[in-house]
Structure 1
Amino acid sequence: MNLSITDLVTEEGNWNNDALQTLFTDQAIKHFHSIKYPNPLDEDDRCVWRWTPKQTFDLKSAYANLAGSLWSPKHAIWPVIWHLTVPQRIRLFLWTAQQQKLMTSVERYRRNLSSSPSCLICCNHAEIVLHSLRDCDSPKQIWLQILPKPLVCSFFSMDIHQWLSCNLSSNFLHYSLDISRKLLSASFVWQLWKCRNDYVFNNKGISDATIIHQRLTWAKCFYGNASPSNATPLQSHSTVSKWIAPRPSWFCLNVDGFISASS
């Protein structure tokens, strides 16, 4: 029996069950009924780009759509982060955290890079950005050691946007450390994320005392750069330096900062 696709459809435009039963099993016929029957008047499927009037792709519209969904230059948190006197990589990290794009367990699970969205440190909650930086048992205990008691309640009740905006825009000095709250927060958030990754991926655990010491060292470095009058005087040298080409097979990397090996 030679049948065309039109023989499988009635004049009313429905599937022809009698014709289907002569060719297919009941299970296959159920599948036919779950899909749209062919219509000779239908046009062939084609790809369209909905962000241009002509429905054709161009790079400008793709970039505008992508950039518009990621950030806005008028967003209130953007100038707060951009004007922090911290290295550029920390600004980019803070912006990524504010956008909730850090590679947490939830995000890795969504991309099929992990078998579970649960936090690998406390194993009690799904690891979203705010959990990894503030609410997990480990970072929470560290925050509690440096927070003034009157701020504890509000500190742990804000969402990610309020939390970052409040802490990164505060110019008040810490009550006992004589460091601005925004630089202290930037240092702690950045270092907490690094320590979290060291524990998860390298199985390296660090004591709370060491973690706090490292964070305070970085915060003091940032604050010293922001307030020269409060910075520890550096030993000056009267030598004149000039660039010297490296030996063959060597590469020279120029950087704009330094850190003591003891910290």
Structure 2
Amino acid sequence: MSDGRFTVKTAYSLLVENCSLRQNMASFYDRFWRVTAPERVRTFIWLVCNQAIMTNAKRYRRHLGDTSIFPVCKCGEETILQVLRDCPSILGIRNRIVPPRRIHDFFNGSLLGWVYGNLASEENAAECAWSTIFAMGIWWAWKWRCSNVFGEIGKCRGRVKFVNEVATKLSRAYVSTREGRVTGGRVERMIAWKPPSEGWIKLNTDGASHGNPGVATAGGVF
């Protein structure tokens, strides 16, 4: 500060102050947060755009792995684009999912340009928006990759049909929800923790299972 005093507030202001010109990313982030997809898929796309998903290339640079090679196709370093777009093992699926008029542009461009170009598309494919199919497609590509890496390979015949059906069901559910909201069929309620009545003890619990059936754990807090 001009008066010579140093506080946490002045330190924070100094860190966030940046007078240099920066690209406006507001429209980019607004686009993928609005895509018709589950919240976890949107969060995954956010991680992709921030290059934060843990590929082998990233794990190797952080000394968390022995190799940077893509374990599925073993055709080079495992980058985000290699997993989600360029891997030969998923190329056949991509060629059948991507609309013919988008094939040329789909396999070109940088990571951010590729994501934005597909999420910004307003065209429809397989009875739903292409942006929804794209979002669900890259989400499942990453899930299949992780299942392969960690030895949890499950049978999924007809992956193209599977992705299209998931995207179509999601779009229909979204439309039904919006129609229900317009007609007053949905009531929003604020949910918060409330202390128990006098003479009662409240136990908050949570749990998770690895498969069904599978190993499960649970815990509670009084």
TM-score with structure 1 setting the length: 0.58
Residue 174 (structure 2) aligns with: 226
More strand by percentage: 2
Task: Find the aligned partners of 1:208 and 1:63 in 2 and give their Cα distance.
Answer: 54
2:140 maps to which residue?
A: 191
Note the 1:61-100 alignment, pairs <5 A. Answer: 61=11, 65=15, 74-100=25-51
Match of 2:198 in 1: none
Letter in 2 for 1:154: D
Query: Structure 1: where are the runs of 5+ without partners?
Result: 1-52, 232-247, 254-263
Query: 1:117-142: CA deviations, max 9, x gaps?
Result: 11011111111111110101122221
Q: What letter corresponds to residue 172 of structure 2 in structure 1?
A: G
CA separation of 1:129/1:64 partners in 2, compared to 1, >3 Å: closer, same or farther?
A: farther
- Given that 2:127 and 2:168 are in contact with CA atoms closer than 8 Å, whether structure 1 keeps it comes out as no
Q: How many residues align?
A: 181
Inter-partner Cα distance in structure 1 for 2:34 and 2:101: 27
- Specify which structure has the bigger relative contact order, considering alpha-carbon pairs within 8 angstroms and separated by 6 or more residues: 2
- The alpha-carbon deviation at position 89 of structure 1 amounts to 1.4
Runs of 4+ in structure 1 over 3 Å off: 56-66, 71-75, 205-208, 248-253
- CA distance in 2 between counterparts of 1:214 and 1:156 reads 22
CA shift digits 1:48-106 (9 cap, x unpaired): xxxxx97x78488569858x9xx998433100011122221111110110111110011
- What is the TM-score when the length of structure 2 is the normalising length? 0.68
Query: What secondary structure does 2:128 align onto?
Result: coil
**Alpha-carbon displacement from aligned partner over 1:221-243 (angstroms, at most 9, x marks no partner):** 221133339x9xxxxxxxxxxxx
- Most deviating of 146-155 and 161-170: 146-155
| Partner amino acid, structure 2, of 1:199 | N
- Aligned identity (percent) is 23
Q: What is the rounded CA distance, in whole Å, between the counterparts of 1:199 and 1:110 in structure 2?
A: 21
2:151 maps to: 202
The equivalent of 1:145 in structure 2 is 96
